[in-house]
Amino acid sequence: MTIADLRTAHRETLDAAIKANTERTFHAHWPEPPSGKIYGETANDDGLAAFKGQLNKTFDRIAAEGECVGEEVSPYGFPLGISYPRVSTDELIARALDAQSAWQSLSPEDRAAILVEALERGSKKFFEIGYATQHTSGQGFVMAFQASGPHAFDRALEATAMALAAQTSFVSHVLWTKPMGKISVSIDKSYRIVPKGINLVIGCSTFPVWNTVPGMFAGLATGNSVIVKPHPGAIYPIA
């Protein structure tokens, strides 16, 4: 799927989110009940199986190498036994700088479309994320599902839509003309978005996704690379 395809696929989603931001109205793109009628009859069982299948194993869904570490313990009475590759600060910064150039060269519309696609794909794992949150934060499953799933993803969508609207509210090119009596002065002006640089998001153990992805997506939507430092007791939900 090309970026043009993504822009077409997610245009209505972004338009609805921008409209809700502008009008300050309630808006939820992802339903909050963990219901099989909404997310699929096997979604809960599949998510629980994915959670159990990850226990006592190395988390290999991260594009990183390094010494594996991890000490997460479920408040419900058992260690998760999951280890994650630990990457040095220097390497993280180098990789963020390397990614920054290509990412900021994309238009705000392209970045927003890619980010909504990431959210849509991530939403397919709401139940696994819910169980991961339950067994790191201690929340009940329904609360964990809602906070780390629909509620967190809606806030990330809100941030993405807000960033897109802010970046596209002004023209990027104009022929500026000042009348001066018998003559006029014209200047051909072009403007571009200048990202601030690497963003750092520090996670917490109480709401490891809800307090992380909105800031992460705000940074990404405005053309910045982002480094996420999860809480050591709640890595799985954000990983």
The pLDDT of residue 67 is 87
**CATH number at 14-21+40-229:** 3.40.605.10
Residue 73: its H or E element: strand 73-74
d(CA 130, CA 72): 16
Per-block average pLDDT, block size 10, for the chain (239 residues)? 96 98 98 96 98 96 86 97 94 95 95 99 98 98 98 99 97 94 94 93 96 98 97 97
* Amino acid symbol at 197: G
167-171 CB contacts, 8 Å cutoff, 24+ apart: 167/108, 167/193, 167/222, 168/108, 168/109
The pLDDT assigned to 107 comes to: 95
Tell me the residue length of the chain: 239
Domain spans, the chain: 14-21+40-229
Whether the model clears a pTM of 0.85, i.e. scores above it, the answer is yes
Q: Would strands 226-229 and 199-202 be described as parallel, antiparallel, or unpaired? A: parallel
What's the count of helices (H) and strands (E) in the chain, helices before strands?
9, 8
Host H or E run for residue 49: helix 43-54
Q: What is the DSSP letter of 56?
A: T
> What are 198's two structure tokens?
């690497």
Give the contacts of 22 (CB within 8 A, at least 6 positions apart): 165
How would you label 203-230 residue by residue, b for 16+ Cβ within 10 Å and e otherwise?
bebbbbbbbbbbbbbbbbbbbbbbbbeb
User: Which residue in 101, 110, 65 sits closest to 83, CA to CA?
Assistant: 65
The answer to whether 47 touches 74, Cβ cutoff 8 Å, is no
What does the pLDDT read at residue 1?
86
Distances (CA, A) of 183 to 67, 121, 176, 180, 192: 70, 57, 14, 5, 29
